[in-house]
Amino acid sequence: MSNIKNDLLLRTLRGEKTERVPVWMMRQAGRYLPEYMVLRGKYGFFERCQTPELAAAITLQPVDIIGVDAAILFSDILVVPQAMGLEVQMIESKGPVLPDPIKTLNDLNRIRVPNVDETLGYVFDAIKLIKQELNGRVPLIGFAGGPWTILCYMVQGKGSKTFDEAKAFCYMQPELAHQLLQMITDTTIAYLKGQVAAGADTVQIFDSWGGLLGPDDFENISLKYIRQIVAALKDDVPVIIFAKGAWHSLESMAAIGAAGLGIDWCITPQMARKFAGDNITLQGNFDPAKLFSPIPVIKKEVKQMLRAFGKGHHIANLGHGILPNVPVDHARAFVDTVKEESAKL
Amino acid sequence: MSNIKNDLLLRTLRGEKTERVPVWMMRQAGRYLPEYMVLRGKYGFFERCQTPELAAAITLQPVDIIGVDAAILFSDILVVPQAMGLEVQMIESKGPVLPDPIKTLNDLNRIRVPNVDETLGYVFDAIKLIKQELNGRVPLIGFAGGPWTILCYMVQGKGSKTFDEAKAFCYMQPELAHQLLQMITDTTIAYLKGQVAAGADTVQIFDSWGGLLGPDDFENISLKYIRQIVAALKDDVPVIIFAKGAWHSLESMAAIGAAGLGIDWCITPQMARKFAGDNITLQGNFDPAKLFSPIPVIKKEVKQMLRAFGKGHHIANLGHGILPNVPVDHARAFVDTVKEESAKL
């Protein structure tokens, strides 16, 4: 069916038995790689995202250098608010800044659900180029932010530990918040459909701030919209949801038709399996800070993680993005240990 | 036994049936109160902590203005590293900065387990003054940070979303980390015993960053030391543990002799009760950002929270500190609704 040589990831997402556990790392095309740092030194952040040749080169790096079982598009979740008409600046050591955040109905009138071919066509071009250069070696993962997480940045205007202003916006102006969430959702569906049309083999929804919401709010503010996205995409490609910290809603997330659920290291694989049920693939959950441990410790802990997930229905990954200062050979030890040890399971 | 007029909090911590649910708010002596802002404008942060008259005045404000059922000492968890010999600066809008953090064995030799009467006597003086001025109206809660949380600041040198450097320190130099954790623990035990001797009626351990650790690490890096603190204190006063986000370890925390466990809004009271068992008092768990909602919504949600906790074994509180911009009447609506509605349960 698939003309991808190493399709372990896709087969695992379909629930098939595989010869070993597939492995990739969130932010695998990132600052721990000296080859990435060279391109980061030469080009600005959005220049890297918006130039298909650069995005493709960066996307391919961890496939070539680390040997991961999937490529993930190099881009950022904030290209969506950008395409909707909001200015997004990326300050290299500080993170994103949106100088004119959404606070009122008037602000909402400044933005729109855009034509994604016009505003995000550069992503689709990058995907076509990546697929060409991958030449069927491994699958390509497309992605977008969860609507609640995108709202966080659009309202707060910058990163935050708690996104209080974004939450206050939802509690003080619920109608406006839902209007904004729907606009983000509509944009995201068109955007992800465009990614799939360009060649993405699967897509992941990063709801990085899902864990800031209690269970009821997660349902009303986040999952309600993720559900629409999954419904629109799931017949085309398998969808992975990673709502970091939202362990309390694994059961509801498992019920909406996603093929995989990401989990972080703060929940045991056993507990996650209990909540999510037996039929969904779980992805995770190595603590990224543990990649600073000596390599023998990394190997021991990876084995322990693999045993805890058990046979099948598991994509090995970190519980969050790889950290900038991790030594490359530590990242490689993580990936290699998954490959070697999971084959023995 | 107790000569405190309103001892609802203490009776609830002892597991007794009470006529209604006691209520207080983390950071209740804080920036949402105009009366606090007046003193904040006049005196520096540590000046407010170190001047018993100021600390006492600030501690009393929410008792007088909002009518909470307990006072909590106005201070900061970082007075402990300060007493251990580390410089701590408090930059008003930015948070704490420790300019010479702990990174090596040499750094460890710069600090010590101090004589708490010499270094933290001002806290004990404040407590005596507060007790005098409270004159038995409500109990006084003393507190300290959990050793892991204190290590976070001592190693990272400032606030952080993920405290990667602190975690890397623990993974790269585990022996050094445990040596530091033990020094913090020994200091904290002496410090809390001093608070109790001065008149604190109960103490709370704030492990604000406990939720950054996975279950195994939480046991080895955090709970192992909290256990020592609880063991040393529990025969003197009831101890409350608030390890924010560490829902996965509620069962182990309930087993170490604490009288109460704090929970945040990301876990339902029902689920927390299931993990923690029937015999411990739970404290929480209103989302602090929800205090921005219109007052009728606050009332509705407080009722819902009270029903979810059920009768007894509950101290109403927020799931984290009250936010700076919350209107005073919204805070009062929270407290009043708990008082009125819980009497009807």
Residues 314-333 of B with CB under 8 A from A: 320, 323, 325
A300 touches B: beta carbon within 8 Å = no
Nearest-angstrom CA–CA distance, B342 and A267: 33
Tokens of A191: 């955007």
Tokens of B161: 């979303």
Residue B174: predicted pLDDT: 97
- Cα–Cα distances in Å, from B69 out to A22, B206, B305, B335? 54, 19, 18, 9
| Domain A8-342 indexed as CATH 1.10.1660.10 | no
Residue B3: predicted pLDDT: 87
Question: Strands of A239-242's sheet, edge to edge?
Answer: A71-72, A140-145, A202-206, A239-242, A260-262, A281-286, A314-318
- Count Cα atoms within 13 angstroms, Cβ side, for A249: 27
Q: How far is A116 from chain B (nearest CA, A)?
A: 33
DSSP B330: H
Residue B2: predicted pLDDT: 61
Residue B1: predicted pLDDT: 45
Is residue B93 pLDDT above 80, yes or no?
no
**Residue-wise pLDDT tens digits, B190-241:** 999 999 999 999 999 999 999 999 999 999 999 999 999 999 999 999 999 9
User: What residue type is assigned to position B71 of the chain?
Assistant: A
- Cα–Cα distances in Å, from B335 out to A90, B203, B265? 42, 21, 17
Which helix (H) or strand (E) segment holds residue A202: the answer is: strand A202-206
Which helix (H) or strand (E) segment holds residue A48: the answer is: helix A45-50
Which helix (H) or strand (E) segment holds residue B281: the answer is: strand B281-286
Q: How far is A159 from chain B (nearest CA, A)?
A: 10
**Residue-wise pLDDT tens digits, B121-167:** 999 999 999 999 999 999 999 999 999 999 999 999 999 999 999 99
CB contact (8 A) between residue B292 and residue A171? yes
How much is the ipTM here? 0.94
Residues of A in contact with B266 (CB under 8 A): 211-215, 245-246, 248
Does residue B225 carry a catalytic annotation? no
CB contact (8 A) between residue A297 and residue B171? yes
Is residue B310 pLDDT above 80, yes or no?
yes
Minimal Cβ distance to A289: which of B171, B267, B288: B171
Give this prediction's pTM.
0.96
Q: Is B41 exposed, middle or buried (0-12, 13-18, 19+ CB in 10 A)?
A: exposed
Number of residues that this document lists for chain A = 345
Bridge partners for A281 per DSSP: A260
End-to-end CA gap in chain A: 27
A296 touches B: beta carbon within 8 Å = no
Q: What is the largest CA-CA distance in chain A?
A: 59
- Which sequence spans correspond to the domains of chain A? 8-342
Q: What value does the mean pLDDT of chain B take?
A: 97
Residue B345: predicted pLDDT: 86
Interface test with B, best of A103, A171, A251 (most B CBs within 10 A): A171
**Residue-wise pLDDT tens digits, B28-42:** 999 999 999 999 999
Q: How far is B21 from chain A (nearest CA, A)?
A: 22
DSSP symbols for B64-130: HHT--S-EE----TTHHHHHTT---EEETTTEEE-SS---SHHHHHT-----HHHHHHHHHHHHHHH
Q: What value does the mean pLDDT of chain A take?
A: 97
In chain B, which residue's Cα lies nearest the Cα of A167?
A: B289
The dihedrals phi and psi of B256, each to the nearest 5 degrees, come to -105, 10
Does residue A264 carry a catalytic annotation? no
**Residue-wise pLDDT tens digits, B251-304:** 999 999 999 999 999 999 999 999 999 999 999 999 999 999 999 999 999 999
Nearest-angstrom CA–CA distance, A152 and A168: 10
* pLDDT above 70 coverage of chain B, percent: 99
CB contact (8 A) between residue B211 and residue A247? no
Bridge partners for A285 per DSSP: A317
Position of tokens 């008259």?
A: B53
Residues of A in contact with B245 (CB under 8 A): 245, 266
**Residues A28, A34, A36, A41, CA torsion sign:** positive
- Count Cα atoms within 13 angstroms, Cβ side, for A243: 32
Minimal Cβ distance to A167: which of B267, B289, B325: B289
Tokens of A24: 């990739």
CB contact (8 A) between residue A167 and residue B292? yes
Instruction: Quickly state the pLDDT bin for A345 (edges 50, 70, 90).
Output: confident
* Residue of B319, B323, B28 lying closest to A165 (CA atoms): B323
Nearest-angstrom CA–CA distance, B287 and B291: 8
Minimal Cβ distance to A266: which of B159, B172, B214: B214
* pLDDT above 90 coverage of chain A, percent: 97
B172 touches A: beta carbon within 8 Å = yes
Q: How far is A68 from chain B (nearest CA, A)?
A: 24
The dihedrals phi and psi of A140, each to the nearest 5 degrees, come to -110, 130
Is residue A102 pLDDT above 50, yes or no?
yes
CB contact (8 A) between residue B293 and residue A248? no
Minimal Cβ distance to A215: which of B171, B245, B268: B268
User: What residue type is assigned to position B252 of the chain?
Assistant: S
Does residue A153 carry a catalytic annotation? yes
Bridge partners for B141 per DSSP: B72, B202
Tokens of B119: 């270094």
Q: How far is B41 from chain A (nearest CA, A)?
A: 24
Return the CATH number of B19-258, one of 3.30.1490.20, 1.10.530.10, 1.10.150.20, 3.20.20.210: 3.20.20.210
**Residue-wise pLDDT tens digits, A242-297:** 999 999 999 999 999 999 999 999 999 999 999 999 999 999 999 999 999 999 99
| Whether the Cβ atoms of residue A243 and residue A207 lie closer than 8 Å to each other | yes
**Residue-wise pLDDT tens digits, A185-233:** 999 999 999 999 999 999 999 999 999 999 999 999 999 999 999 999 9
Q: How far is A248 from chain B (nearest CA, A)?
A: 7
Nearest-angstrom CA–CA distance, A195 and B34: 52
Residue B94: predicted pLDDT: 83
**Residues B155, B158, B162, B165, CA torsion sign:** negative
The dihedrals phi and psi of B10, each to the nearest 5 degrees, come to -70, -40
Residues of B in contact with A271 (CB under 8 A): 248
Residues of A in contact with B172 (CB under 8 A): 292-294
Residues of B in contact with A210 (CB under 8 A): none
Residues 214-253 of B with CB under 8 A from A: 214-215, 217, 245, 247-248
Does residue A117 carry a catalytic annotation? no
Q: How far is B100 from chain A (nearest CA, A)?
A: 21
* pLDDT above 90 coverage of chain B, percent: 97
Per mean pLDDT, which range of A72-81, A129-138, B2-11, B189-198 is the poorest? Answer: B2-11
Peptide bond into A285 cis (omega under 30): yes
CB contact (8 A) between residue A214 and residue B271? no
Residue A246: predicted pLDDT: 97
Residues of B in contact with A164 (CB under 8 A): 288-289, 323
CB contact (8 A) between residue B164 and residue A268? no
Is residue A15 pLDDT above 90, yes or no?
yes
Does residue A27 carry a catalytic annotation? yes
